[in-house]
Structure 1
Amino acid sequence: MLVLLPPSETKRVGGATAPLDFSALSFPALDPARRALVPDVVALARDPEQALRALKLGPKSAGEIAHDLVLETSPTMPALDRYTGVLYDALDAPSLDAEARAYAARHVAVHSALFGLVGAMDPIPAYRLSHDSRVPGARLKQRWRQAVATELAAHPGLVVDLRSEGYVELGPADGAASVFVRVVAVDGDGRKRALNHFNKKAKGLFTRALLISRPEPLDDVEALVDWASGAGFELVAGSADAPGLGGSREVELVA
């Protein structure tokens, strides 16, 4: 099983490990795209006005550009610790024990706009780049979509896709063994509606529960639904080939 998380705009700064080392990142087939994109982002950061436009930042967020200037020399930390925000606050990776973090290293990846897929414990620097950023040269979709989709298609087990649709566009998880998780709420009349803020929180809590319980194996959607029920989550399997999701089957996480 591979649990696929979105990144976060907000990140912890600093780190206690050495600067970026491409050979330390999972999914080595993505290295050519990484090695091409990182220098392009560094070059973009040397022109603050252009970077603000390309990264869609306001003047108050101009300081974020500084992270991109030192991408190749700044310290790193595990990806799951680097990201903050609603999803990652609910997941609370720093509080997980060694066994949970080892399970995350085997079963969790984050889809970064800068590095493509990275393992949960891969060491990465602080950076600013989003799925809709515009880096000079090829668009991010051109750089990532086929390469990421190929990596996900090659995964031998279940792919549990918790990404936003913006990141699905940068590399769909296409295959019978992939499920896209959509968080919904049900009102008193039984009507379902999508959630925003609580969508991220629910995904963080769901992932944390997986890391704490460490089920082995979860080979298919039915096994995932059964585990979720026992862990206190309502997960409802939907139809295959959900529109716009690259052929993934959709499941609903009822929050």
Structure 2
Amino acid sequence: MFSRLREDIANIIERDPAARNAWEVVTCYPGFQAIVLHRLAGWFWRHDLKWIGRFISYLTRIFTAIEIHPGATIGRRVFIDHGFGVVIGETAEVGDDCTIYQGVTLGGTSLNKGTKRHPTLGTGVIIGAGAKVLGGFTIGAGAKVGSNAVVVKEVPAGATAVGNPARIVQKDNGNPKDAVAARMFAAYGVMPGGDDPLSKALHGLIDNAATQEQQIEKILAALKCSGIGCETLPELDKFDPASLNRLVQ
């Protein structure tokens, strides 16, 4: 038990630059306190003392503003940062080395008892502030969920999901240094340059339209030089890709 406590404290000090020492973590970090009390509540839950487990969970919610059902499975070195408003459901499974920020819900969408209703987080998953992960699917190892995203389907390992409903933005490039940097920072589950995929698609369409317009102008000029006339159409406003790109930023 004490080795797990030391491991959790060292993990928080390593991953949070605001943490100065072990005493501060023990007394001032509600995420640490919630996980320690969850282990106690889970022990009672697994030994068929379910009311005591739920009551400890209830008291933990009052003191930390973090609600973890005693039936949930929490791995090693899980860091709940700030933590206010975090809700983790009964059948949720959180893998080792995960990071969960404030306002996150790992919720269920089914009312059927005895079924897997809540999500499973693989190793090293980062869930950004305010994100909602709803359903009994898996978020793959090393995946990231952006702030305020609403995830209702599986996210592949190493992918980043943003938006409502969440869409896959990118996959990890496999560079070990980048993977470490992502785990150490990615402060709210959003990586630099991680634009909304819808916005990226619109930028691509605008750039493609601008390229086509330039090609058409060159073709018309070449035809005119060859003495081939083309029907004159009414003059339209000049296509301005820069202004359109600004509109969808």
TM-score bucket (shorter structure): under 0.3
Select the structure with the greater relative contact order (CA < 8 A; seq sep ≥ 6). Answer: 1
Rg bigger for which structure? 2
TM-score, normalisation: structure 2: 0.26
